[in-house]
Chains A and B, each alone.
Chain A
Amino acid sequence: MIYRSHVLICAGTGCTASKSADIAETMHKLLVERGIDKEVKIVKTGCFGLCEKGPIMVVYPEGATYSKVTVKDVPEIVDEHLVKGRIVKRLLLGDKEAQDVAKSLENVGFFSRQKRIALRNCGVINPENIDEYIAYDGYRALAKVLTEMTPQEVIDLVKKSGLRGRGGAGFPTGLKWQFAAQAEGDEKFVCCNADEGDPGAFMDRSVLEGDPHSVLEAMTIAGYAIGAGQGYIYVRAEYPIAVQRLRTAIGQAREYGLLGKNIFGTDFSFDIDLRLGAGAFVCGEETALMTSIEGHRGEPRTRPPFPAVKGLFGKPTLLNNVETYANIPVIINKGPEWFASIGTEKSKGTKVFAVGGKINNTGLVEIPMGTTLREVIYDIGGGIPNGKKFKAAQTGGPSGGCIPASHIDTPIDYDSLTALGSMMGSGGLIVMDEDNCMVDIAKFFLEFTVDESCGKCPPCRIGTKRMYEILEKITQGKGEESDIEKLETLANNIKKSALCGLGQTAPNPVLSTLRYFRDEYLAHVRDKKCPAGVCKALVHYVILEDKCKGCTLCAKKCPVGAISGELKKPHSIDISKCIKCGVCMESCKFKAIITQ
Chain B
Amino acid sequence: MKSIKELEAIRERALKEIAIRDNENKTRIVVGMATCGIAAGARPVMNAFIEELNKRGINTVNVTMTGCVGVCRFEPIAEVIEPNGEKTTYVKLDAEKARRIVAEHIVNGRPVLEFTIGAAEK
Contact = CB atoms under 8 A, between A and B. Distances in A.
A4 B63 contact: yes
By DSSP majority rule, is chain A's interface helix, strand, loop, or mixed? loop
A135 B9 CA distance: 10
B84 interface: no
Interface stretch (A239-247, A257-265, A356-364, A546-554): A257-265
B122 interface: no
A135 B17 CA distance: 9
A76 interface: no
Interface string A19-48: 000000000000000000001000000000
B33 A39 contact: no
A86 B2 contact: no
A43 to B, nearest CB: 9
A270 interface: no
Contacts of B33: 83-85
Given A4-B46, A4-B64, A61-B62, A134 B23 contact: no
A131 interface: yes
Highest count of chain A CB atoms <10 Å: which of B2, B11, B30, B67? B11
A84 B67 contact: yes
Given A84-B33, A85-B67, A5 B20 contact: yes
Contact of B17 (A2, A39, A104): A2
A143 B4 contact: yes
Given A61-B23, A264-B4, A131 B10 contact: yes
B3 interface: yes
Contacts of B32: 85
Contacts of A153: none
Give chain A's interface residue range (CB within 8 Å of chain B): 35 or more
Given A61-B28, A61-B62, A85-B33, A263 B54 contact: no
B107 to A, nearest CB: 17
A8 B18 CA distance: 11
A3 to B, nearest CB: 7
B40 interface: no
A40 B15 CA distance: 17
Contacts of B31: 85
A517 interface: no
A346 B29 CA distance: 49
Interface in A306-339: none
Nearest to B2: A265
A4 B20 contact: yes
A419 interface: no
B66 to A, nearest CB: 5
Interface in B62-76: 62-67
B16 interface: yes
Contact of A86 (B13, B14, B67): B67
B20 A6 contact: yes
Nearest to A256: B1
B54 to A, nearest CB: 4
A224 to B, nearest CB: 14
A39 B50 contact: yes
A492 interface: no
B34 interface: yes
A147 interface: yes
Interface string A142-186: 010001000000000000000000000000000000000000000
Interface in B41-64: 46-47, 50, 53-54, 62-64
Nearest to A139: B7
Nearest to B26: A61
A60 interface: yes
Contact of B7 (A3, A125, A134): A134
Given A61-B23, A84-B34, A264 B10 contact: no
A134 B21 CA distance: 15
Nearest to B12: A135
A256 B7 CA distance: 9
Interface in A505-542: none
B21 A60 contact: yes
A314 to B, nearest CB: 33
Contacts of A83: 33, 38
Highest count of chain A CB atoms <10 Å: which of B10, B21, B30, B46? B21
B20 A61 contact: yes
Interface in A115-142: 124-125, 131-132, 134-135, 137, 139-140
B25 to A, nearest CB: 13
B14 A131 contact: yes
B49 to A, nearest CB: 8
Contacts of B21: 6, 8, 60-61, 63, 124
Nearest to B32: A85
Contact of A258 (B1, B38, B46): B1
B11 to A, nearest CB: 5
Contacts of B64: 4-5, 61-62, 85
Interface string A341-360: 00000000000000000000
A257 B34 CA distance: 48
Contact of A60 (B20, B47, B53): B20
Contacts of A262: 2
A2 B34 CA distance: 23
Contacts of B2: 257, 262, 264-265
Highest count of chain B CB atoms <10 Å: which of A61, A132, A134, A143? A61
B42 to A, nearest CB: 10
Nearest to A126: B18
A265 B3 contact: yes
Nearest to A63: B23
Contacts of A3: 17, 20, 50
A566 B87 CA distance: 76
Interface of A: 1-6, 8, 39, 60-63, 83-86, 104, 124-125, 131-132, 134-135, 137, 139-140, 143, 147, 256-258, 262-265
9 contacts: A4-B63, A4-B64, A5-B20, A8-B21, A39-B46, A39-B50, A60-B23, A104-B23, A131-B10
Given A4-B64, A86-B67, 20 more contacts: A1-B17, A2-B16, A2-B17, A3-B17, A4-B20, A4-B46, A5-B20, A6-B20, A8-B21, A39-B46, A61-B20, A61-B28, A63-B23, A84-B33, A84-B35, A85-B34, A85-B66, A86-B66, A143-B7, A263-B1
Give 5 nearest A-B pairs by CB, closest first.
Answer: A85-B65, A135-B14, A131-B14, A61-B62, A257-B1
